[in-house]
């Protein structure tokens, strides 16, 4: 037999039932339900945005275009005057403080549970973290108002002695119901959420990568730094955005702890401030027709802020994946 007489091997027959998954009734039903759920979610989000926009336009027009710059909130006055300057400042600052405190601690706890702690210790601590994520926000608010606030006075006086000259940590001696207190409370609230998600991401790191690093003589910390942290970077960002979303929209805990005030203070330790959610919860009951429209307008700003934050997070994650794929 010559070389030219050889025939290429016949292709292997397709396994029976290979196309069955595309024709099964259950798969078609599940696919349609999934698509319908996604479309329904988009419709609900659009309906919420349209409702907020329609009610907000009425209030913004009645305020003569000062909605973004006015510091007071007198929506029931004649004429009404109100603005989101203080609320936007308080919401962003308290959330940033919470993220600065919570994210490093959450990553450290997640690494301890996934790579350092023995299983008999990591399991109960993991259950405890999950339980803390389920605690109602009003419980955190009561704990913050009755336990945390009185015990922060000494800390704030110490910060005032060391860094009061900066103006950021100048303390006036009043009860510690400030944006800094709210930030600390929010950090405690979002810590379990970030920890739980981050721990699950770190545990998904391929064992082959870790074993290869150990075979090359890397220490445990070097293995974490070279394999675990790069692998879990996108997950940490996603977990942080989940925590930030809760911090931005938290209502009862903030309303319980914060002393409402429509002043922007240079110091984070001075009492007062305000957030969107806290202002809506405290003002909605007494608000008239125009006052409710004004609160809905502030809710629209919070809605857009949340969408902006989540959109930025998705963009960061997408770029990380593109960068990782290009370097693979």
CA triple 178-86-259, angle to 5 deg:
30
pLDDT of residue 242: 86
Residue 3 lies in a domain: no
Residue 152 lies in a domain: yes
pLDDT digits over 43-70, tens only? 999 999 999 998 888 888 877 667 877 7
pLDDT of residue 106: 93
Residue 26 lies in a domain: no
Q: What is the pTM of this model?
A: 0.83
- Total domains present in the chain: 1
pLDDT of residue 190: 92
pLDDT of residue 8: 57
Residue 19 lies in a domain: no
Residue 24 lies in a domain: no
Residue 291 lies in a domain: yes
Residue 181 lies in a domain: yes
CATH code at position 280: 1.10.3720.10
pLDDT of residue 142: 92
Q: Between 276-283 and 85-111, two packed helices, what is the crossing angle to 10 degrees?
A: 120
Residue 22 lies in a domain: no
Do the Cβ atoms of 170 and 266 come closer than 8 Å?
A: yes
Give pLDDT < 70 ranges for the chain: 1-23, 64-65, 320-328
pLDDT digits over 215-273, tens only? 888 888 888 888 888 888 888 888 898 889 888 888 888 888 887 777 777 788 888 77
pLDDT of residue 322: 62
Range of the domain at 192: 46-322
- Before 79, cis peptide (omega within 30)? yes
- Residues 63 and 84: their CA atoms lie apart, in Å, by 12
pLDDT of residue 183: 92
């Amino acid at each position: 037999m010559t070389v030219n007489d050889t025939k290429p091997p016949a292709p292997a027959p397709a396994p029976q039932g290979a196309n069955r998954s595309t024709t099964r009734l259950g798969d078609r039903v599940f696919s349609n339900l999934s698509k319908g759920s996604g479309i329904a979610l988009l419709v609900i989000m659009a309906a919420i945005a349209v409702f907020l926009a329609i009610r907000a336009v009425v209030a913004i027009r009645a305020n003569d275009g000062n909605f973004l710059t006015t510091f007071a909130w007198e929506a029931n006055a004649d004429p009404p005057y109100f603005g989101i300057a203080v609320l936007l400042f308080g919401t962003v600052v308290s959330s940033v403080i919470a993220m600065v405190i919570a994210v490093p601690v959450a990553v450290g706890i997640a690494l301890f549970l996934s790579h350092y702690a023995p299983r008999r210790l990591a399991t109960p601590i993991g259950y405890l973290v999950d339980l803390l994520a389920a605690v109602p926000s009003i419980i955190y608010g009561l704990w913050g108002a009755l336990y945390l606030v009185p015990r922060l006075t000494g800390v704030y006086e110490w910060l005032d002695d060391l860094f009061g000259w900066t103006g950021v940590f100048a303390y006036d001696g009043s009860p510690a119901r400030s944006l800094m207190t709210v930030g600390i409370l929010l950090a405690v609230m979002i810590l379990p959420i970030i920890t739980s998600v981050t721990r699950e991401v770190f545990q998904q790191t391929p064992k082959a990568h870790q074993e290869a690093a150990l075979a090359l003589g890397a220490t445990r910390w070097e293995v974490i730094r070279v394999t675990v942290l790069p692998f879990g970077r996108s997950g940490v960002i996603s977990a942080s955005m989940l925590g930030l979303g809760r911090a931005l929209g938290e209502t009862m805990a903030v309303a319980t702890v914060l002393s409402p005030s429509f002043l922007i203070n240079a110091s984070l330790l001075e009492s007062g401030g305000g957030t969107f959610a806290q202002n809506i919860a405290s003002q909605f009951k007494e608000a008239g027709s125009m006052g409710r429209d004004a609160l809905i307008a502030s809710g629209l700003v919070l809605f857009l802020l949340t969408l902006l934050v989540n959109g930025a997070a998705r963009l960061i994650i997408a770029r990380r994946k593109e960068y990782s794929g290009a370097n693979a």
